[in-house]
Structure 1
Amino acid sequence: MSTMPGATEQAGNQVSPQPGPRRRLHPAWVVAAVAFLALVGAAGFRAAPGVLMVPLREEFGWSTTVLSAAVSINLVLFGLTAPFAAALMERFGIRAVTATALVLIGMGSALTVLVNQSWQILLTWGLLIGLGTGSMALVFAATIANTWFVKSRGLVIGMLTAGSAAGQLVFLPFIAMLAQDPGWRQASLLIAAGALAVVPLVLKFLKNSPQDAGVLPYGADPSGAAPVPPARHPGDSGNAAVRALQVLRRASRVRTFWALAAGFAICGATTNGLIGTHFIPSAHDHGMPETTAAGLLAVVGIFDILGTIASGWLTDRFNPRILLAVYYQFRGIGLLVLPMLLSTEVQPSMIVFVVIYGLDWVATVPPTAAICRETFGADGSVVFGWVFAAHQLGAAAAALAAGAIRDSTGHYTYAWLGAAAMCTVAAVVSATIRKDSKPRESLPAPTA
């Protein structure tokens, strides 16, 4: 039960929510539910390339390099769009940016059925879907939590991040079945329909801020004893791209930013870059069937949901720096022993690895977002967008490096061991992040 403001009073030009009758459900939870559905709808394409590459290659004769280039463009835009998307949400509102992102994903996926030239797949898979998914990246979850919640922010970020993972799990079986019969075009249309189906809900229920709904953020003190950080409203900011770059400039002067970016780059390297890209071929090198290895990754996805929600709950109760250090170190231990677990048969120890790695997969997101908000205040969502960009760049670099190691040595062992060492570095860096005495509402303006 939350105390809900039921009326607003006009004071000059300011509209301030006032305490009123108690309601059963705070509007913030409705917004979070719609955001969850939006992330599920946007996540459909994230699992699609691995399923659709083979039928596209067989029908058009395109090389794996061309199709991989489209995915690479998508990954880069997925990361680099995030900070600008956060600024756009401040400039034009969460609802407008989210609806536009879902339309871009739907357009990119639907237009794929019309391609007949290789450059066109770069436009649909790469540009359109990359911009759309980038605008619906993890920074979206952080923006919703920071705007609508004072209490339970970590839990909300965990739930929304889990929604992105759930989207992949929901769509993947249908995409795989449709790609086989009747074909990959129907699979692409399914993804488009999933993204577009959420747009009406976003337009109706995803309000930009608590002030738009005439309420305080969830968990805010109605008495004003614990002031709520001022939220930015659509139209308050100038050029979104300029703001994103200005935030980066100011954040780059703060050691915490570099510590978080370095840790998240290692996070991306050891998840999407290594396990996500190279676990199946590495398992195949050891004689494990590809279908079995893919099944193990599906289990990782299932436990990813549980781990991320649990991490959000823990972030609301414990020091996020310590949580990050523990997550990274456990991940490093798993990578250290992974070469010994790969074999033709799935051993019980491999199941243990898959479960633990799944719980840890994106458990780093809630504490990282919490530190961004704590350190950078109202700029925290944009800063988190830049930190997330480091995540994707780390993933791309690790995917490339691991492939080079496999080509030069004939195995992935050094890649796993190197990643384990990087996790230890991330754990140490995270544990030594300084804690400010109090949150800052915004970054300090640059000095001359």
Structure 2
Amino acid sequence: MSQSSSRSPSPWLIVALGFLVLAVAFAGRATLSLVMPDLEAEMGWTRTFLSSIAAASLVMMAGLAPFAGRFVDRHGARLVLVTGMIILGLGCFAVALSHGVVLFILAFAGLFALGQGLASMSVVSTAIAQARHEKVGFATGIATSGATAGQILILPLIATIAIYADWRWCFAATSLLCFLLVPFLWRFMPGRPADTGQGDASAVGQKTLRRDLLHILKSPTFHLLFWSFFICGYTTSGVIETHFLPFASFCGFGRVPSAAAFGALSVANLGGMILVGWLTDRMNRPLLLGLIYLIRGLSFVLLLNIGADYATLVLFAVIFGTVDFSTVPVTASLVKSHLGLHVMGLSMGLISAGHAIGAAIGAFLGGYLFDLYSAYYWVWLSSMALAVLAGLMVFLIRQKPPTVVAMPA
């Protein structure tokens, strides 16, 4: 018996580790938005330039996601997540050391993006599915809610650091958290899929990449999920994660109240992901996913009419947060049932690449349109229209029992 297989990690331990990985990784990404005004003041950079760096990092993640997913299909999540957190920690440390444009770009759009592309929700979702939880939707909802839970606990602390110290200490603190997780991931995360009891690792190894890609690309469900997740990326990681805090500052709200509103968004996001994960195991999943997108689209009406009303900002944060990352457990469940566990990593990687590309476009356009019009009106209007379109798209997916489809011959 191999050392890895003798570990037999608890499925709920895998959930907990995935939760912590995403908590640290997404808090690190949100830090750029938090310190954006400081970077503009110290470096003289425009919001378009900083948004371009954020967009470039998302493009890097998009290119990496399918390869990370394929590796998880064949070899398990341990090495992917350990490598991701090491690179993410190095990227944050390099950002903290940067005093010029070249190092900052290489650090954030290079190392940081590479690390987060490996320590991603698609990798964590696949690891949960490989562990064969009885209620995989609920387990995925809990694990991926770490993406927002970290912003509840970690981001306010980082905001406090930004008040009393240089912005570089914010990234240095995130770097330390990344490195602290590494030994626990190496010790307790499963290695090859067989370590989780999946039992079909040899069959996975026999599949060619070309055959798996054809199996995925021939599925109408994949294309509906890909393009809806592309829009998901535009409306979440693109415009909200990158521009919510700068928008709040633009409206005249202070740094701490703005961070508190973002914290309210994160609390609602945490509850929404767990609730939707629970519902994923119990109701029509295409209907559930479509309603999430429609509610998200309508929530942007509040940002279009916010003025200087802080209560409206918080109300938007709560509504949007509830349907923010809650698309992930439903999408992962649909991928597993409609495309198959044997290609789930690759499928989620491709779909996550679409999410990252959409996010890159949203991050860049948000800054570009703000510099062009000195307002976020067109950013919020486009987000509303696209989210409604995504909701209508996923209504076309046929409901199936949440079981694994058979491998193609």
Length-normalised TM-score, structure 1:
0.80
Structure 2, unaligned stretches of length 5 or more? none
Which residue is equivalent to 1:297? 262
State the distance in 2 between where 1:277 and 1:85 align: 24
Instruction: Work out whether 1:354 is the aligned partner of 2:317.
Output: yes
One of 339, 363, 380 as aligned partner of 1:416: 380
Q: Counterpart in 1 of 2:190? A: 207
Name the CA distance, whole Å, in 2 between partners of 1:423 and 1:290: 28
1:121 alignment partner, one of 79, 101, 104: 104
Question: Structure 2: how far apart are the matches of 1:164 and 1:126?
Answer: 19
Q: Kindly provide the amino acid, as one letter, of the partner of residue 228 in structure 2.
A: G
Residues 326-335 or 74-83, more deviating: 74-83
Which range is displaced more, 114-123 or 287-296?
A: 287-296
Q: Which residue of 1 aligns with 2:328?
A: 365
Output aligned runs, 1:28-427, within 5 Å. 28-56=11-39, 66-208=49-191, 211-212=194-195, 216=197, 230-232=199-201, 236=205, 243=209, 247-283=212-248, 288=253, 291-340=256-305, 342-347=306-311, 350-377=313-340, 378-406=342-370, 411-427=375-391
Which whole-Å deviations, capped at 9, do the CAs of 1:271-317 have from their partners, x for residues lacking one?
Answer: 22233334445555655556544432221111100100111011011
Q: In the alignment, is residue 428 of structure 1 matched against residue 396 of structure 2?
A: no
Alpha carbons of structure 1 residues 203 and 235: separation in structure 2 relative to 1, 3 Å: farther
- With over 3 angstroms needed to count, the CA separation of the structure-2 counterparts of 1:411 and 1:424, relative to structure 1, is same
Structure with the bigger percentage of helix:
2
- Select the structure with the greater relative contact order (CA < 8 A; seq sep ≥ 6): 2
Report the more deviating stretch, 408-417 or 162-171.
Answer: 408-417
Distance 1:156 1:255, change over 3 A: same
Distance verdict in 2 for CA 1:234–1:193, change over 3 Å: farther
**TM value normalised by structure 2:** 0.87
CA contact (8 A) 1:41 1:198 kept: no
Contact 1:92 1:235 in 2 (8 A): no
Structure 1 residue runs of 5 or longer lacking an equivalent are 1-7, 9-15, 18-24, 218-229
Instruction: Find the aligned partners of 1:54 and 1:350 in 2 and give their Cα distance.
Output: 19
Question: Is the 2:37–2:246 Cα contact (8 Å) retained in structure 1?
Answer: no
Number of aligned pairs?
A: 403
In the TM superposition, what whole-angstrom CA distance separates every residue of 1:396-419 from its partner, at most 9, and x where no partner exists?
223344455555555443443333
Q: Secondary structure at the match of 1:198?
A: helix
Q: Give the drift of 1:379.
A: 0.7
Deviation at 1:372, TM superposition (A): 0.6
1:331 CA drift (Å): 1.4
Q: State the superposition RMSD in angstroms.
A: 3.1
